[in-house]
Each structure stands twice: as structure tokens, then as C-alpha cells.
Amino acid sequence: MGTTRGLQEKSIVLVGLMGAGKSTVGRRLAKRIGLPFADADEEIEAAAGLTVAEIFERHGEAHFRDGERRVLARLIAGPPSVIATGGGAFMDDETRALILARCTAIWLDAEVETLAGRVGRRGRRPLLEGQDPLVLLQRLAEIRNPVYAEAHLTIRGGALPHGKMVDRIVEALAGR
């Protein structure tokens, strides 16, 4: 009981590389613990009236990152929710500081081979355009994993079914 109340005091923010399951796991986690769910990429798309790929193409990555920073600040200032971030959001110093101060950050860690098998879907992932997913993800993992590791909790087991990932997260949150 106490744990359920604890879970709802702060927003839970999922971070990690593309393909880690942040959106799918986040949606299921939110349902399980009775919090609203927000997907930062979807919010950015709604605010811009453009897809992530279109924002990158028309305005460039820096513009996307500005929008991402604003959207996350708004979501974090709102009522406690489960928030799925895009893979680059936690790399922004301002966003990361805000998440670490106000929320519970959870890194969904997975082997790059697992991630590469999952990132086939297009539209949201312009960084993958014309790239070998495994090579790109390896490069991103080298740069980003030490930063994702600053999250309050790390959940490994990216190859697990999403329901099992949710179980692990709930257990980890209860143990905090």
C-alpha cells in the first residue's frame, strides 16, 4: 500500500536507446500502477503538427532538441505520470538535471543486438536513415550508456516480453 502511494508521488521517466521499449513498456506500466501516460515524441509531434522525421528534415536536429526540452519541462511540471522519452532526451544537461531532481528515472538497458532487431519501424527515427542499425546503436551506446547509467534505476532484460519488464520495474520501484 505504502509502495503504491510512493509510486504516485513523482513522475516515472523511462530513458534508454531506441528500441528499448520505452513507449510500449511505459504505456503498460502506467496502466498497471494507475498513472497517466505521456510519450514525449508524440507530444513533440502534436505540438509541431509534424512527425519527428519531418521536424529533423525541415528544421534540423537542434530544433527538434529545443522542442524536446520544452515538452519534457512541461510534462515534468504536470501531474505525476509515466513519461516515455525519446532516446536523446536524457542526453540534454538541462532535461537530465530536471528529471533527476523531480522524477524517478529508469534506464531500460538492453543489448544493442536486441535493439537493432527492434528498430525497423520508420518515421520516428531519422538518425537511422541510411545507417546500419547495429553500427549506429553501438556508437550511440558507447556515448550514451554512461549517461543513462545516471538514472535512479536500471532495468536489464531488454529481450524479455514487455509484461515481464513491467513486473521488474514495479519490483524495483517497490524496493526503493
- Per-residue binding letters, 14-33, with ligand S3P (x by CB under 6 A): ----x---xx----------
Give phi and psi for 109, each to the nearest 5. Answer: -95, 140
Q: Which residue has the cell 546503436?
A: 137
Which residue blocks in 2-132 are alpha helix, DSSP H? 2-7, 22-33, 40-48, 52-59, 61-77, 93-102, 112-118
Distance CA 131, CA 139 (A): 11
Among 125, 133, 137, 151, binds ligand S3P (CB under 6 A): 125
d(CA 119, CA 138): 13
Q: Which of residues 29, 30, 116, 127 is near ligand S3P by CB under 6 A?
A: 127
**DSSP single-letter state for residue 11:** -
Closer to ligand S3P by CB, 115 or 173: give it: 115
Count of residues touching ligand S3P (by CB under 6 A): 12
Q: Does 87 bind ligand S3P (CB under 6 A)?
A: yes
| Of 3 and 165, CB closest to ligand S3P | 165
Task: Please report, as ranges, the residues that interact with ligand S3P according to CB under 6 A.
Answer: 18, 22-23, 41, 52, 86-88, 124-127
